[in-house]
Amino acid sequence: METNMQAKPTYGLVTAIAMIVGIVIGSGIYFKVDDILNFAGGNVWLGMLVIALGAVSIVFGSLSISELALRSAASGGIFSYYERYIHPGLAASLGMFTAYVYLPTVIAVVTWVGANYTLGQGASLEAQILLALFYLFVLTVINIFGRVVAGYFQSLSTMVKIIPLVLIALLGLFWAGKGPSLPGDVDLVAPRNVGWGWLSGLVPLYFAYDGWTVVASIAPEVKSPKKNLPRALIAGPLIILVLYLLFFYGLNRILGPEFIMSTGNAAVGYAVSYLFGSAIGRALMVIVIISVLGVSNGMMLGTMRLPQAFASRGWIRSEGFARIHPKYQISVAASLSVGLVTMLWLGVHYLVMRYNLLPGSDISEITIVFNNTSFIFLYSTVLGLYRKGEVKRKLTGLFSPVLAIVGSLILLVGSLMTNFVAVLCFMLFCLVFCLVAYAVYLKNQS
C-alpha cells in the first residue's frame, strides 16, 4: 500500500448537492422551531427574519468559497484554501480543531438526537447515550469499509428527509382550518416583547444550518470538481433556505405560534399526528430519524477524510494516517481516530447533559460559532482576490464575502448574548486547542 495513492473520483454533482442538503437538513429544523419562536417572542415574521439572517452566512459564505473551490480541488477541504492563500500553520490548527473538536461534537450531538427520537421522550439519558454509541459504531464501520453504501445512504436519507418538510410546508401554505387544542397538561406560553433578544435565536438556529462546508473535504473524489463543487456550494444552500422558510411558515399556519412554543420539541410530532393520524405520523417520525442519522453519516463521511489529508501534508506525523487503503479508498487508521474521538465527545456530551454544565446549550453550539467565526479569514481572502482582479464577479468576489462576514459577526454577538461566561470559557478552550495544534505543527515541521 502506497502512501501517495490518490482517491478515485466517485461522486457526481447530485451526490455533492445531496451531501450539503443531507448534512444540513436533519435534526436541527425539527426541534429548533420552538426555540426560534421563543427568541422571537412568538412573532412568526420575526422568526422568519431570524432564519433568513442565519442563512446569510451559509448562502453568501458558499458563494464566496465557491470562488476558492473553483481554483483548487486539493484534498483537505477548506483547509487546503487556508494553506494555499493564508498560512499552512493556520490551516493545520483549524484543521485539527475541525477534525477532532468541532465536527465530532456536532456528530455526537446529532446522533444523540437520533437516539432520542428513536426511543421517545420517556427514555432515560443513559439509554439514549448507549443507542447513540451503537449508531456511531455502525456509521464508523460503513464509512470505512463500505463507502459506496455510505454514499447511497446519504442520497437516500436526503430524498426521504424532505418529505415531512415538503408535506407540512405545502399543507401549511393552503391551510384554512383551525389548529389543534393545547393539551391540558401543557402550560401556555404566550407571545411577548423580546427587544433585541431575538438575535440570540441565531445560535440554536445555526445548528440547523451547520455542516455545509464538509462537501469540500471530498473534492478529490468529486467528478469534475472545479465545475461541480462551486455548483453544489451554490445550489445546496439555496435549496435549504427555501425549504426552511416554507416549513417554518407552514408549521405556524397549522399549529399556531402559541401551540409550538408551549409544546416545544414535540410540536412536529403533534403536527404529523394531527394531519395524518397516529399510524402515518409514526411512519413520518421514522423518516425524521433517518434524516437525523443522514446528517451524522454525511458529517462522518466528510470528517474521516480530513486527518489523512493532513498527514499527507506533514501536519500529522503518521504513515498510517497518510496511507490510503487500495480497496477501501480511505485511510483506515485516520478514519478510526475520528470515530473514536467522536465517541469520546459523546461521553462528554453525556456529562454536560447529566450535570447541566451548559444550561440551555450543548457542546456543539459553541464549537459551531467558533468555526464559523474562523471563516472570516477565507471571506477576507476572496475580497483580496477581488481587489487583485483575480475574481471578476462582484456577487461572489465583493458582495458575498462582505455579507458573509457580517453574518458571522452577528452569530458571534448572538452567542455571547445567550450565556456570556459559558460561551467565553468554551471559546477560550477552542482557541487553546488551536494554539496547541499550531505548536504541534511547528514541531513536526522542524
Cα separation, 36 vs 42, in Å, equals 8
Phi, psi of 270 (to 5 degrees): -60, -40
- Which residues lie below 8 Å from residue 371, measured CB to CB, with a gap of 6+? 97, 98, 102
Residue 159 has what pLDDT? 67
Give the pLDDT score at 437. Answer: 94
Report pLDDT for 217: 59
pTM of the predicted protein model: 0.79
- In sequence order, what are the beta bridge partners of 11? 222
For residue 195 the three cell numbers come to: 427587544
Cell of 252: 405556524
Residue 419 has a pLDDT of 74
The alpha carbon of 305 is separated from its chain's Cα centroid by a whole number of angstroms, namely: 17
Q: With contact defined as beta carbons under 8 Å apart, do 275 and 254 qualify?
A: yes
* pLDDT the model gives residue 192: 86
Q: What is the pLDDT of residue 74?
A: 63
Angle 344-109-318 from CA coordinates, rounded to 5°: 40
Q: Name, in order, each residue with C-beta under 8 angstroms of 340's C-beta and a sequence gap of 6 or more.
A: none
Task: Reduce the secondary structure of 338-386 to three states and give it as a string.
Answer: HHHHHHHHHHHHHHHHHCCCCCCCCHHHHHHHHHHHHCHHHHHHHHHHH
Q: Distance between alpha carbon 40 and the CA centroid of its chain, in Å?
A: 22
pLDDT in tens, the chain (446 residues): 344 445 556 677 887 787 777 667 766 777 778 888 888 888 999 989 888 887 777 778 888 887 887 776 665 568 788 888 999 999 999 989 999 999 999 999 989 988 988 887 678 999 999 999 999 999 999 888 876 677 667 666 666 777 878 888 899 888 887 878 888 777 888 888 877 777 777 777 777 777 667 666 566 667 776 677 777 777 877 788 888 899 999 999 999 899 988 887 778 778 888 888 878 778 877 887 887 888 788 788 878 988 988 888 888 888 888 888 777 778 889 999 999 999 999 999 999 889 887 766 788 888 988 998 999 999 999 999 999 999 888 888 999 899 989 888 888 887 787 778 878 888 899 999 999 999 999 988 87
Q: Would you state the cell numbers that stand for residue 18, as one nine-digit string?
A: 445531496
Residue 60 to residues 52, 236, 369, 439, Cα–Cα distance (Å): 12, 12, 17, 33
* Alpha-carbon dihedral sign for residues 28, 33, 34, 35: positive
CB 180 within 8 A of CB 270: yes
Nearest alpha carbon to residue 63 among 210, 207, 213, 220: 213
Residue 4's pLDDT is what?
Answer: 45
Instruction: Give CA separation, 1 vs 53, 140, 221, 310, 323, in Å.
Output: 48, 22, 19, 18, 7
| Dihedral sign computed on CA atoms, order 149, 295, 431, 76 | positive
Tell me, what's the pLDDT at 2?
Answer: 42
What are the C-alpha distances in Å from 143 to residues 149, 229, 328, 351?
A: 8, 21, 9, 27
**Distance, CA of 195 to CA of 363 (rounded, Å):** 27
93, with CB counted inside 10 A (0-12, 13-18, 19+), is: buried
- Using CA atoms, how far residue 66 sits from 8, 24, 208, 225, 433, in Å, is 22, 17, 21, 11, 28
| Long-range pairs, 176-179, Cβ under 8 A, ≥24 | 179/254, 179/255, 179/256, 179/259, 179/274
